[in-house]
Amino acid sequence: MKTILPGTTASGQQTTLGVMGGGQLGRMFVHAAQSMGYFTAVLDPDPASPAGLVSHFHIQTDYLDEQGLAQMMQRCAAITTEFENVPAPALRTLGAQRVVAPGADAVAIAQDRSLEKAHFVRCGVPCAPYAVIESAEQLRAVRDALLPGILKTARLGYDGKGQIRVNTRAELNSAWAQLKSVPCVLEQMLPLASECSVIVARGADGTVVNFPPQLNLHRDGILAVTQVFDGNLPTALAEKAVSAAVAIANGLDYVGVLCVEFFLLQQGSAAAKELGTLVVNEIAPRPHNSGHYTIDACDQSQFDLQVRTLVHLPLVQPRQHSPAIMLNLLGDLWLRSGEEAVTPPWSEVLALPGTTLQLYGKLQARRGRKMGHLNITAADAAQARATALRAAELLGMAPF
C-alpha cells in the first residue's frame, strides 16, 4: 500500500484528492485535504455546491456520468465520498482504476437499510426488531409486535425523510402506499432515553481509531445538539458503543471514516430487557454531523482522519483536548421572523468565549436545511454547557 503524499507528481501535476458529493461534509474534507497541501476535486452537479465552491476543481456532472467519472480518475490519485447516496456503481467504476475509500461494497450496505440491519445481526450488535417489506405478502405477514413502528424506505432516506410513524395495520398499509410501495423496513418504535454515535476511522491495514461517543439530541428527525465530554454517557455504555462500532467497521472490512448511530433505551422498559440498553440505529459511510465538534475540540478532526485513511498515512488515536458542544444551525434560525431571511446575531454569539462558527456557504436558508454549525469548547463541561445554552438562547433555539 503506497502512501499518497501531497506535492508535485512525476507528470508535473499536483497530487489531487477527489470527493464524490459537494455538500458541507465534502467542503470540510476539502478544507482538511487542502490544509495538508493536497489539491482537491469535487464531483457534484450543483454549480453552487458548498464543496465545489472551495475546491481547486469542480466537475459538474451527474454521479454516474461517464465523462465526469473519467475526469475524476484523470485528476485524482484517490477518491472518497461525502454522501451515502452516491451510487455504488460509480464508486465501483472509480475503484477499478484509483484508490477509493470507503469501497463500493461497504457503501452499498450502508445505502440499504435491509442490508445494513442484516450486517448488524451478523456482527452480533442488537438493533430494533424489524421486518423487510418489499411485497404485499411481506406487508401482510408483519408481526403485531412491530407496531407501533416506523416505516422507513430502505434507500435514500436522510434527516428523517422517507419515514412514517404507524400505530396500526391500517396506518401501515396506507403508509406503504404513500411511500409508493418501494422496498421498506418497518422498525418497532423503541422507547428512547437518548441517542449517541461513535465515529471510527479504519485504515487499509486494519488499524482502527475512534473518537469518544457523542451524545446527540435530535429534533424532528434532525440532529440538533451534540455534547461530548467525560460523563456524557455512563462509562460501561460508552465502552460498549465503541466496541460495537469497531466490530461493525471490521465486519465490513471498512476503509475510511464511519459513523455508527445508536439508541439508548429507557431503563427497565420491555425493549431494554429484550435488547439491552444500547441498540444500533444506522451507519453512515463518511464523516458525520455529530462529529463536527472534532474540528475544534480534538487534535485531529474527523476530516483529517478521512484524508489519512484515504492516502494511507498513519492513523493515530485522536485526543479530545476540550469538552465540546455543537449546535446545528438550521435554516429556521434565519427565518424566525417570517419568510424573509434575517442574519442570526453572530456578533453576540461570537462574543461568547470558546465559540467558533462554521457556515457552509449555502445561498438560501430553508426550514430544516443545514446551514452551518456552532462549536463551543471550554475548560470544563459545565462552562461549555453554560455558553452553549446562552448561544442557543441568542439564536432562538430551544434549551436542551
Q: Would you tell me which residues interact with Mg ion (CB under 5 A)?
A: 261
Helix and strand numbers, DSSP H then E, in the chain: 13, 18
Q: How far is the CB of 222 from ligand ATP (least distance, A)?
A: 7
Select from 35-43, 154-162, 293-301, 381-389 the region that touches ligand ATP (CB under 6 A): 154-162
Asked if residue 256 lies in contact with residue 302, where contact means CB atoms within 8 angstroms, the answer is no
| CA-closest candidate to residue 193, choices 116, 276, 126 | 276
For Mg ion, the nearest residue by Cβ is 261
Q: How far is the CB of 281 from ligand ATP (least distance, A)?
A: 5
Select the binding partner of residue 195 from Mg ion, ligand ATP, none (C-beta < 5 to 8 A, by kind).
ligand ATP
Q: How far is the CB of 110 from Mg ion (least distance, A)?
A: 11
Binding mask 243-262 for ligand ATP (x = CB under 6 A): ------------------x-
Q: How far is the CB of 397 from Mg ion (least distance, A)?
A: 20
Select from 34-42, 151-159, 166-174, 345-353 the region that touches ligand ATP (CB under 6 A): 151-159
Select the binding partner of residue 296 from Mg ion, ligand ATP, none (C-beta < 5 to 8 A, by kind).
none
Write down the residue that cell numbers 465545489 correspond to: 52
Select the binding partner of residue 218 from ligand ATP, Mg ion, none (C-beta < 5 to 8 A, by kind).
ligand ATP
Q: How far is the CB of 245 from ligand ATP (least distance, A)?
A: 15
C-alpha cell recorded at residue 56: 481547486
**Bridge partners (DSSP) listed for residue 59:** 43
Q: What are the backbone dihedrals phi and psi of residue 389, each rounded to the nearest 5 degrees, phi first?
A: -65, -40
Nearer to Mg ion, 226 or 355 (CB): 226
Asked if residue 279 lies in contact with residue 262, where contact means CB atoms within 8 angstroms, the answer is yes
Q: Report the Cα 146 to chain-centroid distance in Å.
A: 27
- Could you say which residues in the range 117-136 bind ligand ATP, by CB under 6 A? 128
Q: How far is the CB of 229 from ligand ATP (least distance, A)?
A: 21
Select the binding partner of residue 355 from ligand ATP, Mg ion, none (C-beta < 5 to 8 A, by kind).
none
Q: How far is the CB of 395 from ligand ATP (least distance, A)?
A: 21
Asked if residue 18 lies in contact with residue 42, where contact means CB atoms within 8 angstroms, the answer is yes
- Could you say which residues in the range 208-237 bind ligand ATP, by CB under 6 A? 218, 221
Q: Which residues of 241-252 are buried (b: 16+ CB within 10 A; e: fewer)?
A: bbebbbbbbebb
Asked if residue 82 lies in contact with residue 32, where contact means CB atoms within 8 angstroms, the answer is no
Nearer to ligand ATP, 31 or 152 (CB): 152
| Residue 152 identity | K
- Could you say which residues in the range 337-396 bind ligand ATP, by CB under 6 A? none
DSSP 205-251: TS-EEEPPPEEEEEETTEEEEEEESTTSS-HHHHHHHHHHHHHHHHH
**Bridge partners (DSSP) listed for residue 355:** 376
**C-alpha to C-alpha distances, 211 to 26, 256, 284, 299, 318, nearest whole angstrom:** 20, 14, 15, 11, 7
- Could you say which residues in the range 286-315 bind ligand ATP, by CB under 6 A? none
Q: How many CB atoms lie within 10 A of CB 97?
A: 14
Q: How far is the CB of 52 from Mg ion (least distance, A)?
A: 25
Q: How far is the CB of 211 from Mg ion (least distance, A)?
A: 17
Which of 80, 111, 232, 281 binds ligand ATP (CB under 6 A)? It is 281
Q: Does residue number 150 form part of the binding site for ligand ATP (CB under 6 A)?
A: yes
Q: Does residue number 282 form part of the binding site for ligand ATP (CB under 6 A)?
A: yes
Q: Is 177 helix (H, G, I), strand (E, B) or coil?
A: helix
- Could you say which residues in the range 37-56 bind ligand ATP, by CB under 6 A? none
Which of 47, 143, 158, 336 binds ligand ATP (CB under 6 A)? It is 158
DSSP 178-210: HTTT--EEEEEPP-EEEEEEEEEEE-TTS-EEE
Select from 132-140, 187-195, 318-326, 351-359 the region that touches ligand ATP (CB under 6 A): 187-195
Footprint of ligand ATP (CB under 6 A)? 128, 150, 152, 157-161, 187, 189-190, 192, 195, 218, 221, 261, 281-282
